[in-house]
Amino acid sequence: MSAGMLAGIEAAPTPNEWNPVAPKNVLVSGITGQDGGHLAEQLIAQGDRVFGLVRGQHNPRKQLLELEFPGITVIEGDLTDPSSLIRAVEIADPDEIYNLGAVSHVGYSFKNPTLTEEVSGKGVLNFLEAVRLTGRTDKTRFYQASTSEMFGGLDYNRPGAGYDEESLFHPRSPYGVAKLYGHWIARNYRESYGMFVSCGILFNHEGERRGLEFVTRKITHGVARISLGLQDKLLLGDLWPKRDWGYAGDYVDGMWKMLQHHEPDDFVLASGQTHSVEDFVRQAFALVGIENWRDFVEQDPAMIRPAEVDILLGNPSKAESTLQWERKVNFEGLIKRMVDHDLALESSK
């Protein structure tokens, strides 16, 4: 049919026509983690049907998830098991997939590099293949959780205005390397099969749902316990590394916005500010009235990593202008929110 013959004819709605406010089927891996919790909350409030991929036999996190979000359908599956992902996709029939599942602790990835590669790297390929093999390349939008750890923070690779979508990658851990594979295979499926695949390159995002193994929550939890007389010392690794820290709830909204955009793309989500671990420690102690914080902090050699990312600073201009993404919580607000939460938690025990 020529272009002339099409003139004046209304295009028929295609099955792929997207309405951001219509309820959707959404499949989420990593739903028991920090970002999964924020995302589940947002999707349920919007009226979406949420399916959570949970791995392992009798995973205690499954019960906690079902208690917190009774409306969620739990599907047992594992990013390292392709057939379980095909089954999950068939059950959920998803309009959107958020691949948040990963070995996400950088220090742990040095001790378990092969597992990290299998889950955080090859797991992305397994999930994309599950979408392709079930014939959903035109139907399902896919979010890949990429990370600022892919940049590596080295001197020669550090732009003054912060890393953006065009910056060079130089990962410094098995985690960062695995995530870089995930990032590129996701882009490859977008280019090869025309899939709607978007990658969010997220800088550190924290909050009261954060696990105690990550430095911010370890600090706010320790500070709360020290101020209540429940703990004497806070054991930490290096205090000089700098990170670009934001609030996880704001960043999860950015992920959702990426999948509602009219075309797939990659976006940096960051605060555009960088602070050292020491800045975070000092401000957290100050909130409970302790100025002589050094008396309560000791170095734990076990927390030192074989290679460190010195400094991360992101430039979120593209997400701000294209997606109208905005942050509601700043650095000081984040620390206060976390300290207040941990004071309440520890006082109620």
The footprint of ligand GDD (CB under 6 A) covers 104, 106-107, 147-149, 203-204, 213-216, 218, 236-238, 241, 243, 277, 303, 305, 308, 312
Measured between alpha carbons, how far is 280 from 286 in angstroms, rounded to an integer?
Answer: 10
Which stretches within the chain are classed as H helix? 3-6, 34-46, 60-68, 82-92, 106-111, 113-116, 123-133, 174-193, 215-227, 248-260, 277-287, 317-323, 331-347
294: DSSP letter:
G
In the numeric block, the tokens 């009261």 are attached to 208
Closer to ligand GDD by CB, 92 or 219: give it.
Answer: 219
> In the complex with ligand GDD, which residue's Cβ is closer, 227 or 274?
274
107 Cβ neighbours under 8 A, 6+ residues apart: 303, 305
- Joined together, the tokens standing for residue 158 give 């550090």
Smallest distance from ligand GDD to CB 335, Å = 14
DSSP tag of 296: G
Minimum CB distance to ligand GDD smaller for 203 or for 247:
203
Nearer to ligand GDD, 141 or 217 (CB): 217
**Which positions are catalytic?**
147, 149, 175
Beta-bridged to residue 251, according to DSSP, are none
Q: In angstroms, what is the minimal distance from the CB of 150 to ligand GDD? A: 9
99's enclosing H/E stretch is strand 96-99
Given a contact cutoff of 8 angstroms between Cβ atoms, the answer to whether 66 and 31 are in contact is no
Q: Which residues pair with 37 in a beta bridge?
A: none
Q: Do the beta carbons of residue 71 and residue 40 sit within 8 Å? A: no
Minimum CB distance to ligand GDD smaller for 54 or for 297:
297
Residue 264 structure tokens: 């797939």
